[in-house]
Amino acid sequence: MAGSLCDAQETYKDNLLLNNVIPKPLSINRADGRFELKPTTTFYYTKDAQVPIGVFTELLKGSTGINFKTAPLKQEKQGIFFITSDTLNSLGNEGYQLKISTQSIRVYARTAAGIFNATQTLRQLFPADIETTIGKKKVNWSIPCGEITDKPRYSWRGYMQDVSRTFYGVDVMKKYMDVMALYKLNVMHLHLTDDQGWRIEIKKYPKLTSPQTTVFDASSKQPAERSGFYTQNQIRELVKYATARNIKIIPEIDVPGHSWPTILAYPELGVNQNRKPEYVFPFLDSWSHWGNQFTPNTLDPTNEKVYSFLDDVFTELAELFPAEYIHFGGDEVRHVLWEKEPHVQAFMKEKSFKNTNELQSYFASRVSAIIKAKGKKPIGWNDILSDKKNLTKETAIMSWLGDEAITDAAKNGFYAVATPTDPFYFDITQADRNDGTMSDLAYGNINSVEKVYNYEPEAGLSTEEGKFVLGVQGNQWTAITQELKDMNVQNFPRLLALAEIGWIPKDNRNFDNFKDRLLINRNRLEALKIDYYKPGGYITGKWKPEQLANDYQNIEWDVTKKTYANGRIIAGFYYTNGANFMEIRKVELLENGKVVAQDEHNGIADKFRGTHKTKSFLYHLQLNNYNPKAKYTLRASVKGINGTDSNGNFTYNLSPYDRLNGIEPR
């Protein structure tokens, strides 16, 4: 870095109490002065502290241009010190203490995890420029003096990424882990299999990762990047990356429902002979193929080959993932398919099962035993509690079906992760049904950031029952939010709210204070090239009755500010009110008055927001030769239907091809 690190162009507050750290630290005391990071600053460490500071020093090298010296701690007095000690029991496994003076920063923790968490607090105490690569701008790399003592409320602070319904590569997962680490989220739950694709290589069953089970059929016209799977070497790479960031990756193989790819590859494992169509396809195409969102086939709970298959699969998973849990799904199993099969009914009679809930518990217990035999702990969605009296207590529960699911688990002695649909499903809208984001799966709830922040996972539980709550987790289902940009907008800033409630005691929460810190953290998200939700979402304009006629005419919107890179564009027409709907027949993108992209089909802007039919009101365009000096206009040919009393929102959403580095300008 040229020049002194002290040559500041930005001014930062001198009071440590006025920090913008998320999650909010447990205890802070201020002192006078500032610690200044200099090119000569050395990072000293004791045993067990060297590895967890590696990510931090590498980040600083990228942003400052300085390769800071690291060395074992002896008797030094100046510098940054990372010290682990078995005597710091009050800090727990992930807590830490920071003592910042003008001469040194001293970091104390009982474990390497605590040291790592301390580095992420230091990361947030430095300017947001720490998230960028070295540039010409000179930055004040200093921190106010004082002390911070901090530790988390919960040991499970998770984020679930659905990579089955839409696949995301290693690069995307690494970026997400970087952001998770920054905000001290420590569990990444990978939903690796579902009806839309099998996404992990299993050596013993190569057909699981054939194109038939991992590549969306060409008829769905999906971009190639949304298909694929992780090789075992890539999984090892992800696990190594996660471990360096104090993150555990929990793999999920969803059985016995949501198993379409498995049944396509190995039909002998299915409960029936239904295998149409013989390929995988996006979630929203389910209704046209099956008449609903659920597959017409499941794994056969009466077939010993199924358990042998799962034994083999979980053997390979246990070797790949060092985390203590393996997730086996168990949700949304269509029991009606079992009720229709004579051989299943005969099996139930033989076992004296009264109903299919008991059969599912039988399946869950068999799978739990398999996972336990691998030295792992089983965990499944709370659907498996339907016959709780026959389910082993060693199976943990991921509670998604409301508060009662958490209560049901905890009161019956099952460890549970709180991940209720309301408010922790981040594919759900966050302001209202017309908030300008990509529409969700038509859930009845709205999951605002305030609702996320104010959620209490132990509500209604006694102190003893509360001990069964392992923590909290936000889920991102990628049925509709397929573009990375859309996923980021749905996740942020809600994921930061979840990170805070998973970390701090419930009595320490203050939403107004959180909002203030969140405002500053927008700069950090932008530095990380992460899009986040802004009020109004992608709403770029509106239509009103006076713009419509009973025959087709054009409406135009200036979309120059929303057009900023080469990428895929979705133009949406969302009816909001009025006596009449609107019909669209063609949408064109103009660059300096010349058409550069168009989508021509008949669409209706009406009340529909569901998933069971084609969203004809969405128009898809591509921009491949972006000109930053051009004016861009969106032109739509529209008319009123049986009248012109129609109002609605026009949305314009460009997702850059360079999805890791391109964000929409603020």
Catalytic residues: 332
Buried-exposed string 63-100: b where 16+ CB fall within 10 A, e elsewhere: bbebebebeebeeeeebbbbbbeeebeebbebbbbbbb
CA distance 163 to 191: 6
| CA geometry: angle 98, 100, 106, nearest 5 deg | 55
Q: Which of 559, 594, 578 is nearest to 648 (CA)?
A: 578
DSSP 14: S
Strands 469-476 and 156-162: parallel
Q: Which residues does 84 contact at the CB level (< 8 Å), separation at least 6?
A: 46, 47, 48, 49, 108, 109, 110, 111, 112, 114, 115
For residue 447, count other CB atoms closer than 10 A to its CB: 25
**What's the rounded Cα separation, in Å, for the pair 563 and 278?**
39
Nearest to 140 by CA among 151, 148, 132, 130: 130
CA-derived radius of gyration, the chain? 27
User: How open is the CA angle 93-400-155, to the nearest 5 degrees?
Assistant: 0
Distance separating alpha carbons of residues 252 and 422, to the nearest angstrom: 22
The number of beta carbons lying within 10 Å of the beta carbon of residue 584 is 24
- Cα separation of 344 and 360, whole Å? 12
Per-residue DSSP letters for 193-220?
Answer: EETTEE-B--TT-GGGGSHHHHS--GGG
Contact 41, 64 (CB under 8 A): no
User: For the sheet containing 594-605, what is the strand order?
Assistant: 553-558, 632-640, 582-591, 594-605
Torsion region of 490: left, alpha or beta (phi above 0 gives left; psi -120 to 50 gives alpha): alpha
- The torsion defined by the Cα of 67, 70, 76 and 78, in degrees rounded to 10, comes to 30
